[in-house]
Amino acid sequence: MTPAVLAKLKTGKKVNVVARASPDDVTIVMEGVPIALLAHYSEYAKKNCGNDRLVVDGDRNNLRWVCQYMAAGEQDGNLSIKLNHFSVSGLCELYKLAQFLEYPSLIFRIDSILNCRIRNGVVNKDGVAKIYQFLPHLSKSVIAHVVQLMLVPRAMDYEPYSDLASENTAFGQDLDDAIQQNLKHKAAHITEAKARAPVCYHCKVAGHMARECPQRKKGNYHYRKSHVIQVATNGEGLRTCDRVVRKGEMTRTGLII
């Protein structure tokens, strides 16, 4: 968005933005917010801006951040906290608010950040619970990530995930199914590998190993084929790094002169 367009959106009638955490907990979080700015980003604001205020169900701090984010033209560089610096739980709460506001560009950005967090880092118990609550479409990605962490043979505290599995039936069932599926896949892979016939490293033929190869030559530790080098005249030798090998002799690398 260009500065001129953003400046135009900040003109005209203004309203107070009110956060309603509960029927008895109503707080003004931003005063004098341009209706055009709110309506440009939020379908909810476009439909529900009253005479003097816009009431939004959600956390007051998150709502204040969203209003500032809109006013900055969706640039968070100068805000008190950047979107990438929110925790997974905080992003999930912000996602819930963006859904309420029907704010598609913010929804898409939060979704992308959470996908990246799931792929690249450990999502703690609270983050997993929030994702299951507000972003169920990411549950499969979270489960796959947790299962990979649990199956890696290294020291890790799995107790929080076990506790969550007891508290959240859906997460517990998904986690159990994913672990069983992963173990079945690994078992099938091992069985398939064992069933395959070995391939000889020497002759490249399946059915036997190199130590059992019928083409193996005795006395040749590396199983290399001997190569014969013809010399120009009888008695002429081949000079190596430390000695002269005469005709009929063998070099250390298996070459016959």
With beta carbons less than 8 A apart as the criterion, state whether 237 and 257 touch: yes
Domain of residue 58 covers 3-121
Domain for residue 76, yes or no? yes
Is the pTM higher than 0.95? Answer: no
Number of structural domains, the chain? 2
Q: What's the pLDDT at 223?
A: 45
Residues 96 and 163 in one domain: no
Residues 82 and 162 in one domain: no
Q: What is the largest CA-CA distance in the chain?
A: 113
| H or E segment to which residue 102 belongs | none
Express each pLDDT in 37-84 by its tens digit. Answer: 999 999 999 888 877 888 899 889 999 999 999 999 998 888 888 999
Phi and psi at 66, nearest 5°, equal -65, -40
Residues 113 and 7 in one domain: yes
Domain for residue 117, yes or no? yes
Task: Decide the pairing of beta strands 25-34 and 14-22.
Answer: antiparallel
User: Distance from CA of residue 102 to its chain's centroid?
Assistant: 27
In this structure, the chain runs to a length of: 257
Residues 179 and 82 in one domain: no
Q: Which residues contact 34 (CB under 8 A, 6 or more apart)?
A: 9, 10, 11, 12, 13, 14
Q: What's the pLDDT at 190?
A: 75
Residues 31 and 116 in one domain: yes
The enclosing domain of 39 has a CATH number of 3.30.710.10
| H or E segment to which residue 52 belongs | none
Residues 166 and 112 in one domain: no
Residues 49 and 148 in one domain: no
- Report how far residue 121's alpha carbon sits from residue 230's, in angstroms, rounded to the nearest whole number: 64
Q: 125: closest CA among 93, 162, 180?
A: 162
- Report how far residue 117's alpha carbon sits from residue 109's, in angstroms, rounded to the nearest whole number: 12
CA dist list (Å): 64 to 29, 42, 58, 103, 104 = 6, 14, 10, 15, 18
Residues 66 and 164 in one domain: no
Q: What's the pLDDT at 70?
A: 92
Residues 155 and 92 in one domain: no
Classify residue 199 by its DSSP letter. B
With beta carbons less than 8 A apart as the criterion, state whether 89 and 130 touch: yes
Express each pLDDT in 8-24 by its tens digit. Answer: 888 889 999 999 888 88
Token pair of 184, please? Answer: 């079945």
Low-confidence ranges of the chain (pLDDT < 50): 221, 223-226, 232-234
- Last residue of one domain, picked from the residues 121, 154, 176: 121
Residues 39 and 99 in one domain: yes
Residues 178 and 99 in one domain: no
